[in-house]
Amino acid sequence: MPLKEFKCPSCGNVFEKLVKRDVASERCPNCGELSGMNYTGKCLISLGKGGGGCSGDCSGCGEGCSCGH
C-alpha cells in the first residue's frame, strides 16, 4: 500500500495516508471534506532516479513513472 499525499480544497490541509493503489481521494481529517491527490512532489521513476515535479499524467512522462497515478 503506497503512502499518498492529499490536499483538501476546503481548508487547505495537506496530509498523507496509506491507501490502496487506485485510491485518488480521501476525507480530510481536519474538516471531513473530500480531498484529492496532491501532485507537488517528485516522481520516482523505475530506474530509481528522482523525476521532475509530478503532473499526475504518467502517460506523458515516458520514463517508466511509478508514482501511482
Tally of domains in the chain: 1
Supply the pTM of this predicted model: 0.58
15 contact partners, CB below 8 Å, separation of at least 6: 5, 6, 8, 28, 29, 30, 35
Examine residue 68 and state whether it is found in any structural domain, yes or no: no
Examine residue 61 and state whether it is found in any structural domain, yes or no: no
Examine residue 21 and state whether it is found in any structural domain, yes or no: yes
Residue 54 has pLDDT above 80, yes or no: no
Q: What is the pLDDT of residue 39?
A: 78
pLDDT band at 55 (very low <50, low <70, confident <90, very high): low
Owner of C-alpha cell 480530510? 28
Mean pLDDT of 46-61: 54
Tens of pLDDT, residue by residue over 25-51, are 999 999 999 999 987 755 555 554 545
Task: Tell me the three state secondary structure of residue 31.
Answer: coil
Examine residue 63 and state whether it is found in any structural domain, yes or no: no
